[in-house]
């Protein structure tokens, strides 16, 4: 990892996951999960590099979502 790098993190949720339900959206569970995951990623930047972090949540089948994101 170098200064100026952009790191894209993808979290794929299956449609059946509890966090993917409407109630989780209403309660802001996505945001809490994203903030927790972002803090975890930031802690791994031990050298305090100037990087850009992008965290994306997607709902669907893991293989299909990854293929879609890559293309």
The residues facing 13 across adjacent strands are: 59
Question: Is-contact 38 11, C-beta < 8 A?
Answer: no
Predicted TM-score (pTM) of the model is 0.60
Residue 14 has pLDDT above 60, yes or no: yes
- pLDDT, position 43: 87
Is residue 19 pLDDT above 80, yes or no? Answer: no
Q: What pLDDT, in 10s, does the model give residues 30-45? A: 778 888 888 888 888 8
User: What are the C-alpha distances in Å from 7 to residues 2, 40, 41?
Assistant: 11, 14, 10
Residue 44 DSSP one-character state: T
- Report how far residue 67's alpha carbon sits from residue 18's, in angstroms, rounded to the nearest whole number: 24
Return the half-sphere exposure (C-beta side, CA atoms, 13 A cut-off) of residue 69: 18
Q: What residue spans define the domains of the chain?
A: 6-70
């Amino acid at each position: 990892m170098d200064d100026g790098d952009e790191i894209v993190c993808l979290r794929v949720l299956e449609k059946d996951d509890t966090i993917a339900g409407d109630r989780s959206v209403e309660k802001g569970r996505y945001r809490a999960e994203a903030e927790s995951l972002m803090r975890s990623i930031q802690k791994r930047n031990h050298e305090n590099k100037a990087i850009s972090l992008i965290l994306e949540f997607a709902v669907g089948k893991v293989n299909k979502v990854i293929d879609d994101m890559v293309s």
